[in-house]
Amino acid sequence: MPSKLEVFKPCLSRSQKFPLYSSKVSAGFPSPADDNLEKTLDLNTYLIKRPATTFFVRVNGDSMINAGINDNDILVVDRSVKPSHGKVIIAVLDGQMTVKRLYKQSNKIILMPENDLYQPIEIRDDMNMEIWGVVTSSVHCL
């Protein structure tokens, strides 16, 4: 069954830059010394390649957990990216928005969950399905 997703547009009117350190860490916090500061990182620039075609959705459900997409994650979605085989997509299926992996087999389109508790959804002629975009990034809170 498709999940309910919250949709957001990016706010690009204000840039917020964060420190990006050049030293890598295996665990713990980066050194606070300024000599390790490489540059600043603007998350809008990092996550949003095409602002006019980008939107965000908040995930509701666990059908994609094996792809690293968890309940309450924020997905960055780009409508200009071609929805090809194997891509994680946002689709509207019979009026409900869902996130699934797109599979194309012969003349069939299958929306694949990434959780064994859910069944694949084979798109039939009597179903109304529209792909809204391709997921390009995920913001995951611990």
Q: Within the chain, which residue ranges are assigned CATH 2.10.109.10?
A: 50-139
0.85 surpassed by pTM = no
Strand intervals (E) in 2-141: 6-8, 17-21, 37-42, 54-58, 74-78, 88-93, 96-105, 108-112, 121-122, 129-139
Cβ–Cβ under 8 Å, residues 133 and 79? yes
pLDDT digit string (tens) for the chain, length 142 residues: 445 566 666 666 666 555 555 545 555 555 555 555 567 777 888 888 888 888 888 899 999 999 999 999 989 999 999 999 999 999 999 989 999 999 998 889 999 999 999 999 999 999 999 999 999 999 998 8
Active site residue 3: no
Active site residue 17: no
Catalytic residue among 23, 24, 100, 106: 100
For the domain spanning 50-139, the CATH number is 2.10.109.10
